[in-house]
Structure 1
């Protein structure tokens, strides 16, 4: 065995150990969600379920219509929000990446300024509820995350690294900026767009804060907020001595694990479909002007 083969084998072995280290916690969470409460209390957590039980899922899914509706709200918000957000940020980033664009520097400063400073929670709450009247609407779950300055700067860097010769040749052939953007820039930027799209999707899917602030209608509750309410109710019941008799029948530990599985399951599935773009797009590079 040559030194090069030995080094490659060593690197692969190290990466395999790192992969096992990342996967093991997920396997433990999944195993605990299918274990009985008594087994976890007696033996602790393990990779393989002890005393297989679906009690935790029966408790969380006690009202199937409610959680299905919550999943529907989250899926709708995630799909619509990610599509609109990626479209707007890509158009803005492409404009900022063109050196000949006259408003490039003022807009870049504006994007950078909003990344560092913001109006604060109270002004934002007053604006959304008193002036825009978006409380208890799906728009309030979509609009606040439409444009994220950091992702705009990442996409700008990616667009600026595209070969200018191709775009110059397209201009000579009579193509306008919109045609160059849709037919050349976007196809060449699939890794970067997929990476930012995955991050934006995670942002929308994992969000429960906007729902907590602006949603009081149970029909518009996203799944993360729905699961958060279940977890909060369990923790409150467990900490209240007057409810000790009630919480005795609730599998508290396994319910927490089941909630985690239901919350991250769709995200893990989406990662497998987008991982090849993520690996290429994660090397977007540093921000340059």
Structure 2
């Protein structure tokens, strides 16, 4: 915490005025340079050094007003560039530090709006995963129901832009949160249908390999030997295609195939 003893001639209200001026200054700088770490870092420093006031009413008023303004500022920055990960990181900092932050369901709705306006927004998907974990842990949201709803959301995104990496990363995260056999089988079927429409989709093929291998390694006893053989053959066929369409990662696909063959 900043103390006025460093500046003995400055009252708490004057220090607060200095910090407010710096927040205004850096906001103008961020509009020109929205991805400069040190501008964002200086705003954090300002917030962390709001001085103690002569009364609780003063300090609470200064802090509450400043934090609310910061949330407004970062929303303006994300309106200008919804994928600015500096702004998203700062938003997480603000929400985690505010004494009276908006409810998590409000933040979940915010990520929905950002994602629906542009599926290719990795930071929004990432923020959504953080908020969902919070809501599940608190019991404010039914885990199974919300996972099902998010599979529908991400599936729409996959069909809209099957080449967008952020969508597939979030899909893999959802799979990790509920990778039972029926879910894996359903998602494999759905992705295969998309691959039939987009036969050169690298992300479709990579995801199919990942999820088929999950069935083989985690659920072999449930799916049975015949299904395991079919899944393994399918993985090897897909890896061969990936070698052809993605030469820079050719050796990676070969190593995965070698691992599958050696575990037969």
Aligning the two structures, in what range does the TM-score lie when normalised by the shorter sequence?
A: under 0.3
Scaled by the length of structure 2, what TM-score is found? 0.26
Greater relative CO, 1 or 2 (CA 8 Å, sep 6+): 1
